[in-house]
Amino acid sequence: MPAGSALAAGLLGASMALSGPAPLLRLQDPALVESSGLVVSARHADVLWTHADGGTVAQVRAVDAAGKTVATVTLSGIDPYDPEALAPGTDDDGSPVLFLGDIGDNLEERPDVSVFRFAEPRSLRDRTVRATWYRFTYPDGPHDAEALLVDPRTGRLLIATKGFAGGLYRAPRDLVTRDVGTNELVRVADVPALVTDGAYLQDGRFALRTYSSVHVYDRPGHEVGVAELPPQPQGESLAADHGRLLVGSEGERSAVYAVDVPGPAPEDTRASAPHRPRQAAAADESGWRDAYLVARALAIVVMLVGIVLVLRRRRR
């Protein structure tokens, strides 16, 4: 059995028998309180790769079935701006690689964003590695983004932005490294509001998650499934593994869950409606729900600030 399929037989096996969602594991490492990206290892059984949001060093961590960090990979000579995404892929020889997406931009002011590609290590130990560095620009100005995908059929990179009017952007087929130039992205489709991660499935479909829902597409702009996700403190990450999805969150000892892929099987999607499927209404509803959750969080912050100001005045 390939190493990447071991989660289906090991980690995922127990949860498949449960009627309700149960955590596959909880991240133990304090350095992963802001876990952002998530990838199933292609080389190591029962191992996930993840990374922390932000920081001054580009690092990716291997986590075992108990949620314990078993290796830390540091990318040499890179001071990241805001790494937010992790995606699996292969090099020209077909060997497994990982792509770390330094694509976060909360203030939408970066002139370009970066993606670092490095070989997935053959052994699990702390190490420092060299990475290939690519820079990208958007055709319509800066965007905040947290979702990086690599098409397993073509190797092309895609970035899904996080705004309320989010978009899916495709990279050129042949990338140039940062010492040669910058790669210009092309917008190819709209995406739901507040996308926090994405992943390709083995059958060629891809999934995008928001804080509370997951959306599945058989091609850019053509949604074929949508479903609610287990409640999480701040749902950030998504990985694909043997017809199922793994979803993670920020937070102390945050949980990773396994969920089914929503929507019809690939052979059924060709017979679906040419524009939007039956799940469209649910997708709209989930988008409004994500917006509501953000608005409610902002309202709570404003209320707390107001209480603090009132208390300060009374003390004078």
**pLDDT above 70 coverage of the chain, percent:** 78
Q: How far apart are CA 244 and CA 240, in angstroms?
A: 6
User: SS3 of 57, please?
Assistant: coil
Domains in the chain, CATH or no CATH each: 3-315 (2.120.10)
Q: What is the pTM of this model?
A: 0.81
**Across all residues in the chain, what is the average pLDDT?**
85
pLDDT tens-place string over residues 81-91: 999 999 999 99
Q: What is the mean pLDDT of residues 287-297?
A: 51
Asked if 232 and 241 touch (Cβ cutoff 8 Å), the reply is no
Question: To which H or E segment does residue 297 belong?
Answer: helix 280-315
pLDDT tens-place string over residues 174-190: 999 999 999 999 999 99
User: SS3 of 160, please?
Assistant: strand
